[in-house]
Chain A
C-alpha cells in the first residue's frame, strides 16, 4: 500500500487493521466483530480502494481491539485474502494472513429452518469449510453465497 492510499484511512495508535478485505465486505467484517457503532468504538473504513493484489479492496481499522481466533476464522470465509495487522503505538507489530479453518463452530446460523441446530437444543452450529462455501455438519445444507448473512453474533 502506498502512503497516498494509506492516508485515505486515518492511522490508529492501538488496535487492528484488517487489510485486503474483499471489496464491499467491510460492513460484514464489522458485523462479525459485533461492531455497530453503538458501543462507541473508534472505527475507520476504506471501501473499494484500489489494490494491486485485489483490484479493489476494503480496509477496516479498529482502535483498541484485537481479534479472537473465532473472529478471524469467520472473517476468512468472507475475506479469504485478508491480512490482519496488529498495531501498538502506531507501529504494526504483527502481521498475518487469515487462514481458512477446517470448520467453524457456533458462529453461523444454519439457513435450514428444519435443522436441529436452529432449535432450542444444547448444541452449537458446526459448519465444515469447503473450497467454495460451508456445509452444516448436521443437516448437510451448503451455503455458497452471502455467507455473511448467516453470521450469528451473540
Chain B
C-alpha cells in the first residue's frame, strides 16, 4: 500500500509495521549492503523544538544510506521567529529535499504540514500527539526481545502527555497484546486514545499501582513524569516517587520481563536496573538507526 506520509501510528497496519521491521532486521544484519543506496538524496530536517537524539538518529540513518541532510537549523534563527506560518515554511523546504522529517511543539502540526507538501513527511513528534517512528523502534525491540504473540504489556508514567505512549498503544492494537496502563489519576490516557483503543477492540486496563499487574507483564514500558505537569512541586514529588522502579521493585516480575524507556530517563528507572537482564532501553535507542534506515528506504522507494 503506498503511503506518502508517516503521521500517526494509528494509520500503520500490521503489514506496514512488519515490512518496516523486516527491512530493519535485514539492514541491521548487513548495513554495508545499503551504504550507497540513496546516494544523492536529501532529507529535510524541520525541528521546531530541540531534540538532539531523534535528530541525530535520523541524520545517522540517512547518511548510512548514502544520502545527506539539509537542516533548517535552530528555530530561533529561522523564519519561524519572523512570523512565517508553518504551512509556508514546509512549502519552501519541500523544494530542497526528497523527504521531510518534522518535530513541532503543537498537536496536529505534522498532519497539517503534510497537507501542503508532495514529498513524504515523517512526523518525529507533534506536541503531546504522536511519535510513530519511536513506536516502530519500540516494536522492533519488543519483537526481538519478547515476540509479538500473546503479549502482556505494561505502560507506566505520564500517559496523558506522552506521545510515545499514544503511538505505541495504537500500534499494539494490531497484535495479540493485553495493555495495562499505570499512571497517577491526573495523567491517565487522553480520551481520544482511549476511544481508539475501544474502537479497535483492544484488551486494555487502567491502574494506579504497578503492583496490581507487575507479575503478569512481559514488557514494562516506562516514561517520565515531568515536574512541569503539576501545579506545585510537592504534588509532583508525592506522585513521581510511586512510579520509580529499581532492581528490588522488579524482584516480583517474571524473569524474562523486558524493561523499556524512550529515554532520556531522569530517576524513574534506578541505575541498578541497568545491571539486570530486564534492561533493554539502551538497545532500544540503538535500534533507532536501522529502523529509521528501513523506514527512509521504504519511503524514498515509494514502497510503504
Contact = CB atoms under 8 A, between A and B. Distances in A.
A140 B129 contact: yes
A114 B109 CA distance: 10
A122 B106 contact: no
A148 interface: no
Interface stretch (A40-48, A49-57, A75-83, A130-138): A130-138
B127 A114 contact: yes
Interface centre among A116, A121, A138, A142 (most CB of B within 10 A): A116
A117 interface: yes
Majority secondary structure, B binding face: mixed
B262 interface: no
Contacts of B115: 123
Contacts of B129: 139-140
A141 interface: yes
Contacts of B104: 116
A117 B128 CA distance: 15
B111 A137 contact: yes
A141 B111 contact: no
B167 to A, nearest CB: 12
Nearest to A142: B191
A141 B127 CA distance: 13
Q: How large is the interface on B (under 10, 10 to 19, 20 to 34, 35 or more residues)?
A: 20 to 34
B87 A114 contact: no
B264 to A, nearest CB: 22
B85 A114 contact: no
A116 B112 CA distance: 8
B86 A121 contact: yes
A139 B126 CA distance: 9
Contact of B107 (A115, A120, A130, A144): A115
Contact of A140 (B86, B112, B193): B193
Nearest to A119: B106
A123 B106 contact: no
Interface residues of A, number: 20
Contact of A116 (B108, B190, B196): B108
A50 B184 CA distance: 46
Interface string B179-191: 0000000000011
B50 interface: no
A140 B192 contact: yes
B105 interface: yes
B105 A122 contact: no
B195 A123 contact: no
Nearest to A138: B108
A10 interface: no
A130 to B, nearest CB: 8
Given A112-B107, A116-B104, A138-B108, 15 more contacts: A114-B127, A116-B109, A116-B126, A119-B86, A119-B106, A121-B112, A122-B85, A137-B111, A138-B111, A138-B112, A140-B129, A140-B196, A141-B190, A141-B192, A142-B195
Give the 4 A-B CB pairs with smallest separation, nearest first. A138-B108, A139-B107, A140-B192, A139-B108
